[in-house]
Amino acid sequence: MKLSARNLLKGKVTKITMGAVNAEVEIELAGGQTIVSVITINSVKNLGLQVGKDAFAMVKASSVMIAVE
């Protein structure tokens, strides 16, 4: 598989919170940081996501905003 996204982050699924339509999937990255994605429940099932399974988070955005107080 080839992707245009350059921000490919490998980690391990640490938590899946199922909602009515979507699920929140938390992935712990190698450095201990956590990234969270909201995907459909069908996607969770189709990808076979489970806590403890390796997964990749792909980030593709035209802009990333940064803020400070």
Model confidence band, residue 65 (pLDDT cutoffs 50, 70, 90): confident
CA of 32: how far to CAs of 6, 38, 39, 40, in Å?
20, 20, 22, 25
Give pLDDT, residue 18: 97
Cα–Cα distance, 46 to 16 (Å, whole number): 14
pTM > 0.85: yes or no: no
User: Domains in the chain: how many in total?
Assistant: 1
Q: How many CB atoms lie within 10 A of CB 52?
A: 7
Give pLDDT, residue 2: 77
Q: Is 23 contained in some domain?
A: yes
Domain hosting residue 36, numbered range: 7-55
Q: What are the tens digits of pLDDT across the range 7-39?
A: 888 999 999 999 999 999 999 999 999 999 999
Give pLDDT, residue 26: 96
Which position has the token pair 């400070």?
Answer: 68
The CATH number of the domain holding residue 11 is 2.40.50.100
Give pLDDT, residue 3: 77
